[in-house]
Amino acid sequence: MIELDNMAYSYGGGELLSGVSLHLQPGAFHFLTGPSGAGKTTFLRLCYGDLTATAGAVRLFGQDVRDLSRDDLAVMRRRIGVVHQDCQFLDHLPLHENIALPLTVSGQASFDDSNLRELIQWVGLSHRARALPPELSGGERQRAALARAIIMSPDVILADEPTGNVDWEMSQRLLTLLIELNRLGKTVLIATHDLALIRAAKSQVQARVLRIANRKLQFAGADL
Amino acid sequence: MSPFRWILSILQADTQADRVVPPTGHTVRLTLFSAAAMAFLAVFALALSMATGRLAVRWGDELARSSTIRISAPAAQMDAQTEAALRVLSTTPGIKSARALTDEEQQELLAPWFGNGVSLAALPVPQLIEVVEEGDGYDPNGLRLRLQAEVPGATLDDHSQWRKPLIRAAISLRRLGTLSLLLIGGTMAAMITLAATAALAANAQVIRVLRLVGATDVYIAGAFVRRFTLRALAGGVIGTLAGMVAILLLPGAQTEGGFLTGLGFQGWQWVLPLVIPPLGAVVAYFATRAAAMRTLRGLR
């Protein structure tokens, strides 16, 4: 699905990531951890082609990102659901339209409304469907971002600190949603520095933990 | 895509796609106003172009078909020389008619300078003979030689000396009108490009979100292009109608009214300004599309 082959990324003269290799298999559940500023967000952006590796290769569904045009990459991104830490939305559109945005831009304007309603209900936002993004709480925004990320039924879900702005109870709800998606066959990669969340997840799902340290990607041991 | 389907795709509102770009009153008003102002000016430039075209044709035709013979002779010989000149003219091929202007007509010609009621007898005024041509006209060099031999006081003025500069002036004015139209089109493209670039820059966050969810550049550009094209079309319609009304309200064309009174459209020419709004929309379409694709390329 997503392959990183001896990949490196440099920015502003400094190397952020070096010699990174990873193959995300279908149905896998991974956590990506590391100290703040280690490059977790950069790593995720490289995984969905928002950044281009300065060395090595990143392949999405078998195709090298460097060989893809911008439009090809955009189409490829529809197979990857991304949940950002800062949950970017179109503030002038109500929540239900924001969640349906991937369908809209892919030309599926005549999607089944009942599926959308079900999805909004699944993330517990039925009562907020017509609210504008600035009116939502942090937890509501995170759940809405997750709903938007999965509405196209992507093969991979990349989540960057999805529980960063929410309380423990809400983070558990979001984690449960992601585990449910993984059980439906989706590949999940969550970048987080929240070790308690990782421990909670490991009791429910077989998850591998990756750590970025000193520009390298390592597999974390059982000490987590 | 055929032109018809292309126009249809622009006019058909894709409500979902259009909604992804937030409504911005500022650029809407600017684009609408610019397009309306440019269309208004374009109507006048077109009218100028049409009027100068007519003027060139009229001057060319009317002046080419007539000439004047001026007889300057002592008063005692004036009548004899006039009759001699008329005789020469009556036997010259290519001349339809020739007649000596009456005293009243000559007084009328002098009235703008000397006022009414001036006595021609008190002034050394030459006798004028109006010559109207037919067919391919006469041979001016041959006529000059005959007049020189038979009517020593006669001077032939076939209007060529001042007809050519007049026609050149009219053609230059027409070129000026065409150049104005091109400049107006270019200015409109520049203004729409600036407005579109500003709108794209102001919506960088929207573009980031759209890319995150898999929108192609063509889709993102399309949302902006459709909006600006329709605004330019609406502004063009308003400006063109206003321009046509203003032209209609100009004083009617009269022969004594000078140049401005003839500025306008005649007959089928009234259809021409209606081309301005769709033409403006085409300019807006390409200007916005180029600006959008350029900006999106820079936003990778």
Pull the structure tokens for residue A201. Answer: 């997840």
Contact predicate A97/A151, CB 8 Å: no
**pLDDT value, residue B76:** 84
Task: Identify which of B227, B207, B226, B209 has the alpha carbon closest to the alpha carbon of residue B217.
Answer: B207
Nearest to B214 among A74, A89, A90 (CB): A74
Q: How confident is the model at residue B240 (pLDDT cuts 50, 70, 90)?
A: very high
Q: Do A74 and B17 touch (CB under 8 A)?
A: no
The per-residue pLDDT for B3 is 58
Cβ A70–B217 below 8 Å, yes or no? Answer: yes
List the one residue out of B81, B56, B46, B64 whose CA is nearest residue B185: B46
Pick the CATH number of B73-152 from 1.20.1530, 3.30.160, 3.30.70, 3.40.50: 3.30.70
Residues in chain A closer than 8 A to B205 (CB atoms): 88
CA distance B79 to B126: 11
Query: How far apart (Å, rounded) are the C-alpha atoms in residues A112 and A103?
Result: 10
Cα–Cα distance, A213 to A199 (Å, whole number):
20
Q: What whole-number distance in Å separates Cα of residue A156 and Cα of residue A25?
A: 10
**Amino acid, single-letter form, for residue A81:** G
Residues B192-215, mean pLDDT to the nearest whole number: 87
Count of other CB atoms within 10 angstroms of residue B26: 11
Residue pair A20/A57 in contact by the 8 Å Cβ criterion:
no
Distances (CA, A) of A42 to A14, A84, A218, B206: 13, 12, 16, 21
Q: Over the stretch A64-103, which tens digit does the pLDDT of each residue have?
A: 998 988 888 888 888 999 998 777 899 999 999 999 999 8
The residues with which B95 forms a beta bridge, in sequence order, are B133
**CA within 13 Å, CB half, A130:** 0
For A38, which DSSP code? S
For B24, which residue in chain A has the nearest alpha carbon?
Answer: A92
Domain residue ranges of chain A, discontinuous segments joined by +: 2-219
- The H-or-E segment that residue A163 falls in is none
Question: Across the interface, do B215 and A88 touch by the CB < 8 Å criterion?
Answer: no
Nearest to A82 among B205, B206, B212 (CB): B212
Q: Which of A59, A32, A22, A82 is nearest to A201 (CA)?
A: A32
Contact present, A174 and A162 (Cβ < 8 Å): yes
Q: Is B119 helix (H, G, I), strand (E, B) or coil?
A: coil
CB-based contact A179:A205 (threshold 8 Å) = yes
Position B62 scores a pLDDT of 67
H helix or E strand, kind and range, residue B268: none
Q: How far apart are the C-alpha atoms of A154 and B16, rounded to whole Å?
A: 22
Query: Phi and psi at residue A21, in whole multiples of 5°?
Result: -130, 135
Nearest to B211 among A74, A97, A148 (CB): A74
Measured CA to CA, the distance from residue A151 to residue A144 in angstroms comes to 10
Band of pLDDT at residue A43, cut at 50, 70 and 90? very high
Quote ipTM for the complex: 0.83
Taking only the tens place, the pLDDT of each residue in B52-69 is 878 777 777 766 678 888
What is the pairing mode between strands B95-100 and A14-24?
Answer: unpaired
Considering only CB atoms, B216 lies closest to which of A50, A75, A82, namely A75
Using only C-alpha atoms, chain B has a radius of gyration, in whole angstroms, of: 31
Asked if B234 contacts B278 with a C-beta cutoff of 8 angstroms, the reply is no
Check pLDDT > 60 for residue B1.
no
Q: Is the pLDDT of residue B4 over 70?
A: no
Instruction: Tell me the pLDDT of chain B averaged across its residues.
Output: 83
- Write out pLDDT tens, residues A126-169: 999 999 999 998 888 988 998 999 888 899 999 998 887 777 88
Q: What is the rounded average pLDDT of the residues A31-43? A: 89
Token representation of residue B232: 């330019």
Given an 8 Å threshold on Cβ–Cβ distance, is A101 in contact with B296? no
B180 pLDDT exceeds 50?
yes
Instruction: Kindly list the residues from chain A whose CB atom is less than 8 angstroms away from the CB atom of residue B210.
Output: 101, 105
- Give me the CATH topology for the region A2-219: Rossmann fold (3.40.50)
Give Cα separations from B153 to B35, B70, B78, B127 (angstroms).
Answer: 62, 8, 9, 10
Provide the residue type at B249 as one letter. L
Determine the Cα–Cα distance for residues A150 and A100; give it in Å rounded to an integer: 10
Number of Cβ within 10 Å of residue A91's Cβ equals 14
CB A158 within 8 A of CB A81: yes
Q: A155's torsion region: left (phi>0), alpha (psi -120 to 50) or beta?
A: alpha
Least confident of A68-77, A201-210, B108-117, B127-136: B108-117
Q: How far apart, in whole angstroms, are the C-alpha atoms of residue B215 and residue A102?
A: 8
Helix (H, G, I), strand (E, B) or coil at B23: coil
Q: How far is CA B155 from CA B81, B164, B192, in A?
A: 12, 19, 60
Span A157-182, average pLDDT: 85
Cβ–Cβ under 8 Å, residues A216 and A16: no
List residues of chain A with CB under 8 Å from any CB of chain B: 50, 70-71, 74-75, 77-78, 82, 84, 88-93, 97, 101-102, 104-106, 109, 148, 152
Residue B34 CA to residue A83 CA, distance in Å, equals 41
Q: What is the average per-residue pLDDT within A60-67?
A: 90
* Sequence spans of domains, chain B: 3-55+172-298, 73-152
What's the pLDDT at A31?
92
Cβ–Cβ under 8 Å, residues A125 and A144:
yes
Task: Fill in the DSSP letter of residue B155.
Answer: E
Partners of B14 on chain A (C-beta within 8 Å) are 109
Amino acid at B282: V
> At which residue do the structure tokens 């100009």 appear?
B250
